[in-house]
C-alpha cells in the first residue's frame, strides 16, 4: 500500500464508527474495525465480513476490542468501566479479549487494539497485577501471530511509556490518538507524539478542543470535525512524517448517532487529509 492511505474507523454490528456502506461509497481502502459482539466472533461471521470487505475494496489493519458495560459518558465513568483496568472485571475481560484476538486471526488481521483503561500508579498492587495480566494476554496474542496497539489518551505519554516498558513484551505498540490527549486532558498531543513516536504503529485522525483549564482532566473536552479543533492537523502530519510513520491515516468521528452528519464530516476529513498529504508527503 502507498504511504498514508486514508482510513476510517468502522464496525461490523455494534453501530460504532462509519457504516460499512459509507466506507464503500467513499472508496476508503483501509479501516480500523471495532470487533463484533461476542456471539458474532465466529468463523462464519468472519467469512461474511471478508466477503463484504472484498466487495467494497477495503482491508482492516487493526481490530479494536470493546466490552459490554463500557461507557464514556464522563471521564470518571470511563475510568470506572473501560478496559481491563477495573479490578472486578479484569480477569473476565482479559479472557474475553482472547476471542477478539481469535476473530482478528479469522479475518487475517495482524493487529489487535485496546483501550487498556486508566493505568493505575506504578506503586500499587493493581498496577503489578495489571502488568501480569497484560503479559499473559500479549503472549496469547503473539501465539496468534499478532501485535497489540494500545490507544492513547487515558494516561500521560510518560506513564504510558512506563507501563509498556514494565510489560516488557516485543509485540506491544501504540495507536496514537491526538484528540484523546486533549479530551482527557493528559497532555499536548504533539509533545506526547514526539515522546512515544518510536512505538507508534497506527494512528487516529481525530480532533478536539480542550476543556476549560480549571476542569481539564475531570471534564471532557469536545470532539469536533477534523481540522476544527486544537490538534493542528498539519503539525500532526508533519510530526508523523518526521517520525517516519507511513501507515494509514485513520479518521475517527464519534457521532454514530448522527449518520448524515457523520458521513458529511468524514467526506470533509478525507479531503483535508488528501490536501495535507499532497502538501507534506
Ligand atoms: Mg481513537
- Residue 229 Cα to ligand 1 midpoint, Å, equals 15
List CB-based neighbours of ion ligand 1 within 5 Å: 177, 204, 252
Report whether pLDDT(14) > 80. no
- Mean of pLDDT values over 123-144: 98
Is residue 174 assigned to a domain?
A: yes
- Residue 64 Cα to ligand 1 midpoint, Å, equals 10
**CA–CA separation, 160 and 248 (whole Å):** 22
- Residue 65 Cα to ligand 1 midpoint, Å, equals 12
Mean pLDDT, the chain, rounded, equals 95
Is residue 226 assigned to a domain?
A: yes
Is residue 11 assigned to a domain?
A: yes
The per-residue pLDDT for range 264-274, each reduced to its tens digit, is 999 999 999 99
Q: Residue 150 belongs to a domain with what CATH number?
A: 3.20.20.150
Q: How far is CA 175 from the centre of its chain?
A: 6
Cell representation of residue 70: 463500557
Owning domain of residue 66:
6-280
The per-residue pLDDT for range 199-241, each reduced to its tens digit, is 999 999 999 999 999 999 999 999 999 999 999 999 999 999 9
Are the beta carbons of 134 and 124 closer than 8 angstroms? no
- Residue 175 Cα to ligand 1 midpoint, Å, equals 8
- Residue 5 Cα to ligand 1 midpoint, Å, equals 17
Q: Give me the pLDDT at residue 158, please.
A: 96
Q: Is 186 helix (H, G, I), strand (E, B) or coil?
A: coil
The per-residue pLDDT for range 250-260, each reduced to its tens digit, is 999 988 788 88
DSSP per residue, 60-128: EEEEE---TT---SSHHHHHHHSTT-STTTHHHHHHHHHHHHHHHHHTT--EEEE----PPPTTSHHHH
Report whether pLDDT(89) > 70. yes
Are the beta carbons of 201 and 221 closer than 8 angstroms? no
- Mean of pLDDT values over 7-23: 81
Residues 6+ apart with CB under 8 A from 263: 18, 19, 22
- Mean of pLDDT values over 130-143: 98
How many separate domains does the chain show?
Answer: 1
Is residue 1 assigned to a domain?
A: no
Amino acid at each position: 500500500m502507498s504511504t498514508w492511505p486514508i482510513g476510517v474507523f468502522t464496525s461490523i454490528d455494534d453501530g460504532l464508527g462509519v457504516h460499512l456502506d459509507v466506507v464503500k461509497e467513499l472508496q476508503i481502502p483501509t479501516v480500523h474495525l471495532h470487533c463484533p459482539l461476542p456471539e458474532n466472533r465466529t468463523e462464519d461471521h468472519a467469512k461474511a465480513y471478508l466477503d463484504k470487505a472484498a466487495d467494497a475494496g477495503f482491508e482492516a489493519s487493526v481490530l479494536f476490542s470493546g466490552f459490554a458495560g463500557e461507557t464514556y459518558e464522563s471521564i470518571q465513568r470511563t475510568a470506572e468501566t473501560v478496559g481491563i483496568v477495573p479490578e472486578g472485571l479484569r480477569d473476565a475481560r482479559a479472557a474475553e479479549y482472547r476471542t477478539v484476538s481469535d476473530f482478528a486471526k479469522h479475518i487475517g488481521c495482524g493487529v489487535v487494539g485496546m483501550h487498556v483503561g486508566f493505568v493505575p500508579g506504578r506503586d500499587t498492587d493493581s498496577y503489578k497485577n495489571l502488568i501480569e495480566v497484560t503479559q499473559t494476554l500479549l503472549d496469547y496474542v503473539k501465539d496468534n501471530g499478532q501485535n497489540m496497539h494500545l490507544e492513547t489518551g487515558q494516561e500521560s505519554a510518560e506513564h504510558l511509556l512506563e507501563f509498556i516498558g514494565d510489560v516488557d513484551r516485543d509485540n506491544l505498540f501504540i495507536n496514537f490518538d491526538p484528540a484523546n490527549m486533549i479530551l482527557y486532558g493528559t497532555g499536548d498531543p504533539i509533545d506526547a507524539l514526539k515522546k512515544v513516536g518510536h512505538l507508534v504503529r497506527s494512528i487516529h485522525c481525530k480532533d478536539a478542543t480542550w476543556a476549560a483549564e480549571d476542569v481539564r482532566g475531570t471534564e471532557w473536552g469536545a470532539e469536533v470535525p477534523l481540522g476544527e479543533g486544537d490538534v493542528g492537523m498539519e503539525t500532526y502530519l508533519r510530526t508523523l512524517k518526521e517520525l517516519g510513520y507511513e501507515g494509514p491515516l485513520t479518521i475517527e468521528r464519534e457521532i454514530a448517532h448522527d449518520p448524515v452528519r457523520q458521513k458529511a464530516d468524514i467526506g470533509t476529513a478525507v479531503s483535508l487529509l488528501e490536501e495535507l498529504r499532497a502538501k507534506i508527503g
